[in-house]
Structure 1
Amino acid sequence: MTHPWFRGVSTPRVLAHRGLVPSDAATGGIAENSFAAIAAAHSVGAHYVESDCHLTADGVVVLFHDEDLSRVTGDPRRIAEVTVGELESLMADRGGLITLEQALDAFPTVRFNLDVKAEEAAVPVGATVAPFAERVLVTSFSDDRRRRALAAASAAGGGIVPATSAGTATITRLLAALSLRSDRLVARALRGIDALQIPERQGRIRLVSPRLIAAAHRHGVEVHVWTVNDPQDMVRLVEQGVDGIVTDRADVALETLA
């Protein structure tokens, strides 16, 4: 059965990567993953927002990509070393901090694609999203981390668990199964997976191929490619059969793929 996260939105799906920060907003100091960036993605009609989860020193899940604050705010401390109040002050003129709870509450029509970046964030993320599981997809490069988040969501009793996409180990097993041309091993690798969210290439290795797309679709799994900002690449990938585009330019993608 298709997870509610996918229902009611046609493909190709456009996933706003860390929200949307148009060039004029970036010039004005607005940061990715900020309240303003999520609001901008919502305002252009993005159904899906891809974001990242870290845990503050006082145990609040916030939407933030990096482990530390240096790139976004110039502060060298790690997210885990600052309180949510301190982070709110640092982000005040950068579009505003947004916590996971605030995002789910303030944007009730947005479906979130959440990458659990920190080990300590896995269980709090799962517990936070449990009441909103029908519009959340949980992912992580670490399969163990995403499974712990899913288990925490299940334990919190939300009724259903969030959708999920494969971590690195699962994708590695899938690629090995494809090279062996073993549909049995492909099925095993994709068990419990709703989506493959991958770059088109990893170094010299091409990940997105007709064989991978066909295998995923055969087992009811979507393929979403990140991070695609060129309109020609968006069209080319969709023509190959991918189901979703993760992009920094959700405005451009929505217009291009309409």
Structure 2
Amino acid sequence: MPDPKHPFFTSPGPRVLAHRGLVTPGAAAQGMAENSFAAVAAAHAAGIAYVESDCHLTSDGVVVLFHDADLSRVTGDPRMVADVSLVELATLMESRGGLITLEQALESFPTLHFNLDVKVASAAAAVGGQIAEHGARVLVTSFSDSHRKQALDAAARAGGDVTPATSAGTGTIARLLAALPLRSSRLTRRVLAGVHALQVPERHGRLRVLTPRLIAAAHDADVEVHVWTVNDPADMQRLIAMGVDGIVTDRADVARDVLSP
């Protein structure tokens, strides 16, 4: 396992990252939603150290843990997260495990590490400001390198003893994939400068993203490799055997048991 030299990674691996918290089939049948307070609490209760979640901004400027830009899939309401107030969203989530804001997540679960995906540019500054004091246990990510950098810049402006960790956006990953055939350690290290983790799927359409060469290049640059979203126990074991450092999964309870030493 590489040494990313950030306290976010100090716990022993392989890492299990609870994707949007933990919602077991039984909990889902009773109405618990992903990214709810109850889902985060369930991951914590299961002994999971890392929770992967997503950040959006309500109409009154509050950062909430919510994946989709609109509410339809989770609540049946067609509106956008950005168009509803905190109170409105809390009411909609009341029977689905409860809404959780970023501030509540950080304060209610002080031992959890949060892997936060900044979904929209409008949330970046607010996310950065709120995570500044918690940098040792926060990793900032986004498909957009611009969004994650905006959040990191906001965290730096807000102060704090430790700058949050970060993982590569799609632009950085694309540059890495283009650089790999050149077999240049110097080039791949330059592409991954300032990055602590690569969080990738095994495949994107017909493109195989995760390869032994990518893992080796990342490790050479002291960057961890986490794969999403993996729910099959055999796949978890196979990926860890390949050398990946973390599994992002909807079934963190299963991964905990499969990957425990």
Category of TM-score, reference length = shorter chain: over 0.9
Which residue in 1 is equivalent to 2:196?
A: 194
Q: Secondary structure at the match of 1:192?
A: coil
Matches within 5 A, 1:1-258: 2-7=5-10, 9-258=11-260
- Unaligned 5+ residue runs, structure 2? none
Instruction: For 2:125, give the aligned amino acid.
Output: V
Instruction: For 1:158, give the aligned amino acid.
Output: G
Q: Secondary structure at the match of 1:92?
A: helix
Aligned length: 257
Cα contact 1:113–1:136 (8 A) shared by 2: yes
Cα contact 2:199–2:225 (8 A) shared by 1: yes
Matched-pair identity in %: 67
- 1:182 to partner: Cα distance: 2.2
Instruction: State the distance in 2 between where 1:115 and 1:207 align.
Output: 20
- 1:187 to partner: Cα distance: 1.1
Cα contact 1:177–1:183 (8 A) shared by 2: no
Instruction: State the distance in 1 between where 2:169 and 2:230 align.
Output: 19
Instruction: For 2:79, give the aligned amino acid.
Output: R
Q: Secondary structure at the match of 1:5?
A: helix
Instruction: For 1:179, give the aligned amino acid.
Output: P
Q: Secondary structure at the match of 2:188?
A: helix
Instruction: State the distance in 1 between where 2:179 and 2:124 align.
Output: 28
Cα contact 2:8–2:139 (8 A) shared by 1: yes
Instruction: State the distance in 2 between where 1:150 and 1:71 align.
Output: 30
Cα contact 1:21–1:31 (8 A) shared by 2: yes
Instruction: State the distance in 1 between where 2:249 and 2:159 align.
Output: 33
Instruction: State the distance in 1 between where 2:222 and 2:32 align.
Output: 38
Instruction: State the distance in 2 between where 1:124 and 1:164 align.
Output: 16
- 1:205 to partner: Cα distance: 1.0
Instruction: For 2:83, give the aligned amino acid.
Output: E
Instruction: For 1:231, give the aligned amino acid.
Output: P
- 1:241 to partner: Cα distance: 0.3
Instruction: For 1:61, give the aligned amino acid.
Output: V
- 1:123 to partner: Cα distance: 0.5
- Unaligned 5+ residue runs, structure 1? none
- 1:161 to partner: Cα distance: 1.1
Instruction: State the distance in 2 between where 1:89 and 1:183 align.
Output: 52
- 1:181 to partner: Cα distance: 1.9
Instruction: State the distance in 1 between where 2:248 and 2:164 align.
Output: 19
Instruction: State the distance in 1 between where 2:165 and 2:147 align.
Output: 14
- 1:51 to partner: Cα distance: 0.1
Q: Secondary structure at the match of 2:16?
A: strand
Instruction: For 1:75, give the aligned amino acid.
Output: D
Cα contact 2:15–2:247 (8 A) shared by 1: yes
Q: Indicate the larger mover: 45-54 or 203-212.
A: 203-212
Cα contact 2:18–2:43 (8 A) shared by 1: yes
Cα contact 2:185–2:220 (8 A) shared by 1: no
- 1:233 to partner: Cα distance: 0.2
Instruction: State the distance in 1 between where 2:5 and 2:86 align.
Output: 36
Aligned-pair Cα RMSD in Å: 0.7
Instruction: For 1:120, give the aligned amino acid.
Output: S
Instruction: State the distance in 1 between where 2:158 and 2:248 align.
Output: 29
Give the TM-score normalised by structure 1: 0.99
Give the TM-score normalised by structure 2: 0.97
Instruction: State the distance in 1 between where 2:46 and 2:66 align.
Output: 21
Instruction: For 1:236, give the aligned amino acid.
Output: R
